Structure 1
Amino acid sequence: MSSKQNLFTIQFWGVRGSIASPGPETVRYGGNTPCVEMRVGGERLIFDGGTGLRVLGQSLLSQMPVEAYMFFTHSHWDHIQGFPFFVPAFIKGNRFHIHGAPAPNGATIKQRLNDQMLHPNFPVPLQIMGADLQFYDIEMRGKIQIGDVTIENAPLNHPGDATGYRISWNGYAAAYITDTEHFPDRLDENVLELAHNADVLIYDATYTEEEYSSPASSKVGWGHSTWVEGVKVARAANVKKLVIFHHDPLHNDDFLDRLGEEAVQEFPDTLMAREGLSIQLVPPTVTNSVLAEETSVSV
């Protein structure tokens, strides 16, 4: 087995929620919306197609031809707006397997990606893309097998629905759980199931507890969670490392620094997601521990 086939690496290309927020106050954590790449057992998996997908696409131009498996949590704009700017999808010879659960109105992921590229929203249609695009409607609570990699899913608590994913390979697991709102009186069983004994939990912590429950500007019902709830899930699910994700566009770098310090006090193995963060799960043939390191990459 080659070294690339014997790795489980998670790369963050977009970590911001709701709307892209570039500027001098978001330089360190980044302003692009959700896109997470995983290289698992020799396969390339891409989760969500926010504006971070454009940056990932630029990095892939030196690696073509490219084949990847894309998984969308849902089709709110911050999770799909990078797709029309994903250059590898326009290049013949590349292949992308695109997965998503049907929307409550029955619209498939293909229909929704297609619709955002229709006039007057975008100058060229999806059909202009030259890559081989294959679309799949995923079955909720089903399993998808890609080589030795298993992808499971479960529904999340979000307006218009959303899907959480668990990626398993060679005894390791990562959970991608974003755009979900916690319940006031209990932990979400679907979230716990996806996160159970995971090496890494990527969790939607858009708000602080104060922002979420503020009488003046309550975010209850908006479909997002807090880092405190993320800690509760990490503890209950026996997670090794918690990654705070889907940062609010109003949270600048200094704010996120302070938030991260608070989270680490409650759950020491916590990381704040930022563009360029790479987490590597090292196979047991190399070490019996899970290593996580921050690295600088060209984005």
Structure 2
Amino acid sequence: MSRIEKQFTVQFWGVRGSIPSPGPHTVRYGGNTPCVEMQVGGKRLIFDGGTGLHVLGQSLLRQMPTEAHIFFTHSHWDHMQGFPFFSPGFVKGNNFHIYGAIAPDGSTIEQRLNDQMLHPNFPVPLQIMQANLNFHDIQSGQPIYIDDITVETSPLNHPGEAVGYRVNWLGGAAVYITDTEHYPDRLDENVLWLSRNADILIYDSTYTDDEYHCPKSPKIGWGHSTWQEAVKVAQAANVKTLVIYHHDPAHNDDFLDCVGEQAAAKFSGAIMAREGMVLQVPVSATLSESFPVSKFSA
């Protein structure tokens, strides 16, 4: 194996929620909407296609031809608005496997990506992309196998539904849970199951508890969680590193600095997601268990 084929890394290309928030007050953490890249044993897995996907795509232009597996949590705009600007998708010879659950209205991820690129919303259609796009409809709760990588899935508590993902490889695990709202009286069993003993948990921490319960403008029912709930999940699930993610567009760098300090005081493994940040997932030298190969295998 090469050095890359032995590594499990997580890189953040977009960490902001709801709407891109560029400007002088978001420089340190970044203003692009969600996109996280995992390089796992030489394979590239991408989670969500917010505006961070455009930035990732520009870096991939130096590595073509390229192949990647792109997983969408759901199709709210901040999680797919970067896809029409994903430059490698327009280049023949590149190969992308695209995964998403069927929406409550019955539409597939292919249909939803297609629809956002139709007039009057966009000048060119999805079909103009010259890369090989392989679409896969997944069922939340069912695993996906990509050779010796297992991607576990579970439904999240979000308006219009969303999917959480856990990537397992050589004993290491990284979890991507964004756009989910906690329950008032208990921890979400689906979230706990995905997060169990994870090396890295990336969790939707859009609000603070005070914002979430604010009498004048409560955020209850908006589909997002708080950093305090993230800490509860990380503690209960025995997580090693908790990544506070999906920052509210109104939270500037100084505000997020304060959140980071408070979160780390409650849970020593808590860190703030920043654009460009790269984390290493520790893995074993050999594969401890064999995984079957499904129709989603590369």
Q: Which bracket does the TM-score occupy, shorter chain normalised?
A: over 0.9
Does residue 1:18 correspond to 2:30, yes or no?
A: no
2:254 maps to 1:254: yes
The Cα of 1:282 is off from its aligned counterpart by 3.4
Distance of 1:50 and 1:282 partners within structure 2 = 27
> Shift of the alpha carbon at 1:139?
1.4
Instruction: Give the number of equivalent residue pairs.
Output: 286
Q: Secondary structure at the match of 1:123?
A: coil
**Partner residue of 2:150?**
150
Q: CA–CA distance in 2 between the matches of 1:33 and 1:265?
A: 27
Secondary structure of 1:182 counterpart: coil
Structure 1 partner of 2:217: 217
Q: CA separation in 2, counterparts of 1:215 and 1:258?
A: 22
Partners of 2:78 and 2:92 in 1: how far apart?
Answer: 27
Q: Structure 1 residue 96 and structure 2 residue 102: aligned?
A: no
Alignment of 1:137 onto 2:137:
yes
Other-structure match for 2:83: 83
1:36 corresponds to: 36
Q: Distance in 2 between matches of 1:122 and 1:279?
A: 35
Query: Equivalents in 1 of 2:223, 2:269: separation in Å?
Result: 25
How do 1:50-199 residues align onto structure 2 when only pairs under 5 Å count? 50-199=50-199
Normalising by the residue count of structure 2, what TM-score does the alignment of the two structures yield?
0.95
Structure 2 unaligned regions, length at least 5: 287-298
Q: Equivalents in 2 of 1:132, 1:117: separation in Å?
A: 17
- Answer yes or no: is the 8 Å Cα contact 2:67–2:96 preserved in 1: yes
SS in 1 for 2:62: coil
SS at match of 1:58: helix
Q: Which amino acid aligns with 1:83?
A: F
CA offsets per residue over residues 162-219 of structure 1, 9 Å max, x none?
Answer: 0000000000101100000000000000000000000000000000000000110000
Residue in 2 that maps onto 1:266: 266
Query: What do the CA deviations read for 1:85-134 (whole angstroms, capped 9, x no partner)?
Result: 00000000000000000100000000000000000000000000000001
- Amino acid paired to 1:194: L
How many angstroms apart in 2 are the aligned matches of 1:140 and 1:264?
32
Can you list the C-alpha shifts for 1:34-78, whole angstroms capped at 9, x where unaligned? 000000011100000000000000000000001000000000000
Q: In 1, distance between residues paired with 2:248 and 2:174? A: 23
Secondary structure of 2:63 counterpart: coil
2-structure distance, mates of 1:37, 1:87? 16
Amino acid paired to 2:191: V
What is the distance in 2 between the residues matched to 1:284 and 1:138? 29
Question: Is residue 202 of structure 2 the alignment partner of residue 202 of structure 1?
Answer: yes
The unaligned stretches of length 5 or more in structure 1 are: 287-299
**Deviation, structure 1 residue 284:** 4.0
Q: Which residue of 2 aligns with 1:290?
A: none
**Aligned residue in 2 for 1:226:** 226
Given that 2:162 and 2:180 are in contact with CA atoms closer than 8 Å, whether structure 1 keeps it comes out as yes
Letter in 2 for 1:208: T
| Aligned AA (1:39) | Q
Q: Report the TM-score, using the length of structure 1 for normalisation.
A: 0.95
Aligned to 2:281: 281
Find runs of 4+ consecutive structure 1 residues off by over 4 angstroms: none
